[in-house]
Amino acid sequence: MAGPDRDAQVYEDFDAKLRERIKALITDELIAEHERSPLGQHSDQLERVLAFFRQRPVEGKYLIVATRPWEEYRIAVLSGRRGEPARFLDDEQPYPTEEAAMHGVFLRRIRDLREA
């Protein structure tokens, strides 16, 4: 019977292999596809990358905040702790559209994946 430590190790191994497979899918063409249509129909590769990003833990997850609806959007980060507010990213410029902010989040997620 597997114990908690063994289960955690199996999950870590699986996650590491999955991260490498997702990294291999990320190309300049995939990034351009997302920029053209962050909400639209996507290729199988882009859908796989987006599904991977969606299933990550809440702590550190990015969200888009309309600071001036239909005019200005900013990216914030969730703390993952109840009652603790999300914090805005200080190094980000506001985005003029929600779609541009979505692509900004996508680029941040790619950067985070590559740095992990």
- DSSP, res 79: -
Model confidence over 4-51: pLDDT tens digits?
Answer: 788 889 988 999 999 999 999 999 999 999 999 999 899 999 999 999
Residues facing 113 on adjacent strands: none
Q: Break the chain into its structural domains and give their ranges.
A: 4-115
What lies within 8 Å, CB to CB, of 87 at 6+ separation is: 76, 77, 79
Q: Could you report the per-residue pLDDT of 47-103, keeping only the tens digit for each? A: 999 999 999 888 889 999 999 999 999 999 998 888 998 999 888 799 999 999 999
| Mean pLDDT, residues 97-112 taken together | 96
Question: What pLDDT score was predicted for residue 80?
Answer: 85
Torsion, CA 72, CA 92, CA 33, CA 21, rounded to 10:
-140
Task: Say what the pLDDT of residue 2 is.
Answer: 61
pLDDT band of residue 1 (cuts 50, 70, 90) is low
